[in-house]
Amino acid sequence: MGWLGENLGLVVDLTLQHARLSVIPIVVSLVAALPLGWVISRSRLGIVLLGVGNVIYTIPSLALFVSLPAILGTRILDETNVVVALSLYGVTLMMRGVADAFGSVSDDVRQSARAIGYSAAGRFASVELPLAAPVIIANLRVVSVSTISLLSVAAIIGQGGLGYLFTDGYSRDFPAEVLIGIVATLVIAVVFDLVIVAAGRILLPWQRPARRGRARASLALSPDAAGGAS
Amino acid sequence: MIEFRDVSKQYPDGTTAVDRFDIVIPSRKTTVLVGSSGSGKTTLLRMINRMVDPTAGAVLIDDEDVAGIEPVRLRRRIGYVMQNSGLLPHRSVVDNIATVPRLTGASRAQARARALELMDTVGLDRALAKRYPSQLSGGQQQRVGVARGLAVDPNILLMDEPFSAVDPIVRTDLQQEVLRLQRELHKTIVFVTHDIDEAFLLGDQVVILATGARVAQVGSPAEILAAPADDFVADFIGAKKGKRRLEVASRRDDDLVLADSAGFPVGLLARSQAYSVSDKTAQAGDA
């Protein structure tokens, strides 16, 4: 624990950098994947998009980190490279999930929304998006964790946040430093996950399990619930 | 009045769902379209609010061709109730009922107040207002569906097999509820079902459909029962199988009722003291 005490400032700095560098790709993934996923769920163009996504996803991360400066015209040590690379992975992973999410909206509800007079745009915003949200959030949690862990690889090009503790600990043959890096990464992942779940709870109140007292009352109040025919 | 003028619907793959359908649906009455699956009954219903556009012919509401009305605006003034209620699972009961008034510009408070009134109208406890649809029974969900259909006080109410997914006891309740509502509200109801008993119970006018929306017979339940137009109709209403050998019988209280072959009364013909009690009194009365 002595090492941690002496290097607390470094660990905190790296943790904050790690959180900052991962939050941008996560948000970008969500924002970009929403329209892309919707298109995939709706049109034939979707297969092409998914194909492109799969190709991008198979590019090794290190190869992408080092080749992006040539493509973007950025400096090799620019953190933009890392953010862009992780965003690309995030979007490709996320858009498939978003497509599944829109696909999971029941056709009955979609038809009913149409029948009672929602316009196409209104249906997307007020019906399809909220109903797809639980699956979208589930996918966002995966993207969040994968982005946070993938960022460590960028330590090799000097932009990896807590990944520095892995490379440094390894080269100095000092397992405690690696372990601290792992724990700090886990903390970030858990905090991000809790934030996403909490946001989901607030935004999707109908998803909350009914409170105990209420659940019992509802059973008692509905005589035809016991039949269970529907 | 809703009028189908020589309406056809052909899908791009060549199947003909509706072939030259021609009928007038009177205002402020219940018209039931009844037929087995593939008879095109739901397609016909959806032509009224332009969920489906015909490939030939025209659908007119009060002499106005619906093809000239913008679909979203048209749908907002026609009530629609569907199977499995079609409620929005992420909105509470009261917000579900208030959906269409909100779409047409009513304030939140107005729309909610109206929704609560409608809950009374369809026999729902106001205590359920804050629940989500998944927390209701199937029967309650259908009631919410009916309330939502009535929310903008439309002249026309389209009902697409609304009760076919609930159990028989609840279905009977809901059917009585529709009869009661119709006595109070006098809407132009177009009701689609595959259940001939439901059709005869609810319909002022019953349209029996064969494949491709061919009209096998149109008439009041009594007319159809008394004189099935052909073998198809006779078969469909169960006359041939002896399932519905209806006869006039009289009950203890001297009302004239229709009874089926098992002596089970299926309908009231006349409420009268004048008819003398026939031999059948005991048989029908005990049923």
pLDDT tens-digit readout, B143-183: 999 999 999 899 999 999 999 888 999 999 999 999 999 99
The answer, for B229 touching chain A at a CB cutoff of 8 Å, is no
CATH number at residue A35: 1.10.3720.10
Interface A–B counts its CB contacts (< 8 A) at 95
The answer, for B99 touching chain A at a CB cutoff of 8 Å, is yes
* A113: in domain: yes
* A225: in domain: no
- The token pair at A199 is 């946001």
Distance CA B236, CA B105 (A): 45
**Domain boundaries, given as residue ranges, for chain B:** 2-236, 247-286
Distance CA A100, CA A87 (A): 20
- Regarding the domain delimited by B2-236, which CATH topology (the fold level of the hierarchy) does it fall under? Rossmann fold (3.40.50)
Number of domains in chain A: 1
pTM: 0.76
Please tell me which residue, A213 or A28, carries the higher pLDDT value.
A28
Q: Which residues of chain A have a CB within 8 Å of the CB of B72?
A: 117-119
Q: Are B87 and A115 in contact (CB under 8 A)?
A: no
* A230: in domain: no
pLDDT tens-digit readout, A72-115: 888 877 888 899 999 999 999 999 999 999 999 988 899 999 99
Q: For residue B100, give the nearest of A108, A117, A119 by CB distance.
A: A117
Q: Which residues of chain B have a CB within 8 Å of the CB of A223?
A: 137
- The token pair at B131 is 């629940």
ipTM passes above 0.90:
no
Q: Which residues of chain A have a CB within 8 Å of the CB of B141?
A: 230
Domain that holds residue A186: 10-220
Interface of B with A in 122-151 (CB under 8 A): 125, 127-128, 131-132, 134-141, 148
* A141: in domain: yes
- The residue ranges of DSSP E strands in B179-255, in sequence order, are 188-193, 205-210, 214-219, 247-250
* A153: in domain: yes
- The token pair at A171 is 């080269």
* A120: in domain: yes
Q: What is the pLDDT of residue A46?
A: 84
Would you list the DSSP string of B219-234? Answer: E-HHHHHHS-SSHHHH
C-alpha distance from A220 to closest chain B C-alpha (Å): 12
* A2: in domain: no
* A186: in domain: yes
- Beta carbons of A111 and B75 less than 8 Å apart: no
- Beta carbons of A131 and B86 less than 8 Å apart: no
